């Protein structure tokens, strides 16, 4: 009996336990493998459900998730809202700069939108240049806040502007009807000029009339006659340069308006600074450097002039990042601002000032070339000098009246 007990303890007994421990180990490994497979499958499904360009849900995945979110809000007796976002001038952007630029703009807008929505909101791509958000539990005010912040951020930082339409679910949880309502309101915002938010019962403010821009230009001219005449010349140059760079007509008009009003912030400057015959001292320069910010505030008070205000704010940024007021550099600076800066400098150098004589075209061209890559965008300098060379001996300022009319047609 003793021998049998020893055999069970040290021989067959140990052998008999091994299959059980081996089974447990294999079972554990199998469980881990199943969990890993499930995780990979979830990652794969998530990948397939997401638009690779925008980083949000694909159209089909969005509809599925949005419908479920609306049903959930209906069961809970909560409101729900939809926000439809469309990139202004997307087709022109694709045609002018290629599909890669369009994809980059779409990705940028989608990234901004994802930063603004809540965790439970459903964001998807519903068209080539269109994004949609379903916001369960959100009121009209909440949805409008998200849309207006998105429009404002893109208006100030680029690379594009957007329009948005908002609709509120009436308790039906019908996705198609909700999106159709938002699309109709979005279309009104587009027709009104873009770069704005449309909401139920709220007609988007139409694009500013020619009279509004003309009135601001007149106020600038009355404040300082020389500044007003200078602005008209810069309009002619900026519009021509923008067209040479292949910019579409709507954006050319915005750049022309910014050129006309680029000094509007100077209406708030003291005469002792604005009309000083000599060079400004450090304190006076500190005040002078505020005029782009003042100009932006004035223009943002006019409905529809937000994109123009952005160009004006950044009209004194330098290509190397040492300008003001925000120290932007290179492509961070709106192209319209880079155009206005170079055209402004050229006209200023070739015009008489109380403290110096006008430069010749050759002298001004040499200054622009010397500053290309530091103060000025080299592409803009090249387009400007080619335009002026083509126009000479014609006086480019003779075209200012037509260019000013184009700016007023915004």
Give the per-residue pLDDT at 331.
86
194 and 249 housed in the same domain: no
pTM as predicted = 0.57
97 and 230 housed in the same domain: no
Give the per-residue pLDDT at 401.
46
143 and 254 housed in the same domain: no
Of residues 118 and 409, which shows the higher confidence score? 118
pLDDT higher than 80, residue 320: yes
State the DSSP string of 291-307. HHHHHHHHHHTSTT-HH
Q: How far apart, in whole angstroms, are the C-alpha atoms of residue 311 and residue 250?
A: 14
Q: Give the range among 159-168, 201-210, 236-245, 341-350 with minimum mean pLDDT.
A: 201-210
187 and 225 housed in the same domain: no
Give the per-residue pLDDT at 398.
45
Indicate the average pLDDT of the chain: 82
375 and 292 housed in the same domain: yes
Percentage of residues in the chain having pLDDT higher than 90: 38
Average pLDDT, integer, range 79-90: 92
265 and 391 housed in the same domain: yes
- Domain span at residue 150 reads 59-198
267 and 350 housed in the same domain: yes
* pLDDT band at 403; cut points 50, 70, 90: very low
* pLDDT band at 410; cut points 50, 70, 90: low
188 and 214 housed in the same domain: no
Token pair of 77, please? 């007796």
Of residues 18 and 78, which shows the higher confidence score? 78
Give the per-residue pLDDT at 25.
76
pLDDT higher than 80, residue 282: yes
Total of domains in the chain: 2
339 and 268 housed in the same domain: yes
Tell me which residue of 238, 295, 239 sits closest to 269, measured CA to CA: 295
* pLDDT band at 178; cut points 50, 70, 90: very high
Average pLDDT, integer, range 146-173: 86
């Amino acid at each position: 009996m003793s021998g049998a007990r020893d055999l069970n303890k040290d021989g067959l007994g140990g052998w008999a336990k091994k299959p059980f421990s081996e089974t447990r180990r294999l079972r554990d490994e199998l469980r881990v493998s199943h969990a890993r497979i499930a995780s990979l499958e979830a990652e794969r499904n998530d990948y397939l459900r997401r638009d690779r360009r925008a980083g949000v849900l694909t159209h089909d995945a969005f509809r599925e998730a949005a419908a479920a979110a609306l049903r959930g809000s209906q069961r809970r007796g909560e409101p729900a809202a939809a926000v439809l976002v469309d990139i202004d001038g997307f087709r022109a952007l694709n045609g002018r700069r290629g599909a890669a630029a369009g994809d980059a703009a779409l990705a940028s807008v989608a990234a901004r939108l994802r930063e603004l929505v809540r965790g439970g909101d459903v964001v998807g791509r519903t068209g080539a240049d269109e994004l949609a958000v379903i916001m369960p539990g959100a009121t009209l005010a909440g949805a409008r806040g998200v849309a207006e912040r998105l429009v404002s951020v893109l208006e100030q930082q680029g690379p594009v502007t957007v329009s948005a339409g908002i609709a509120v679910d009436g308790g039906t949880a019908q996705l198609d009807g909700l999106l159709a309502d938002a699309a109709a309101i979005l279309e009104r915002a587009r027709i009104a000029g873009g770069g704005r938010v449309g909401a139920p019962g709220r007609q988007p403010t139409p694009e500013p009339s020619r009279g509004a821009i003309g009135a601001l230009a007149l106020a600038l001219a009355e404040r300082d006659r020389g500044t007003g005449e200078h602005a008209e010349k810069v309009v002619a140059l900026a519009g021509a340069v923008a067209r040479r760079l292949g910019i579409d007509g709507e954006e050319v008009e915005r750049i022309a308006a910014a050129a006309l009003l680029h000094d509007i912030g100077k209406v708030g400057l003291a005469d002792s600074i604005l009309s000083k015959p000599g060079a400004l001292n450090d304190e006076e320069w500190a005040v002078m450097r505020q005029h782009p910010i003042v100009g932006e505030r004035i223009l943002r008070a006019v409905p529809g002039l937000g994109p123009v205000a952005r160009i004006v704010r950044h009209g004194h940024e330098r290509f190397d990042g040492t300008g003001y007021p925000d120290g932007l550099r290179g492509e961070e600076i709106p192209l319209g601002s880079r155009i206005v800066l170079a055209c402004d400098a050229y006209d200023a150098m070739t015009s008489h000032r109380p403290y110096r004589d006008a430069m010749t075209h050759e002298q001004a061209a040499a200054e622009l070339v010397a500053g290309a890559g530091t103060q000025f965008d080299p592409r803009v300098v090249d387009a400007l000098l080619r335009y002026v060379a083509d126009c000479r001996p014609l006086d480019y300022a003779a075209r200012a009246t037509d260019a000013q009319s184009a700016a007023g047609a915004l």
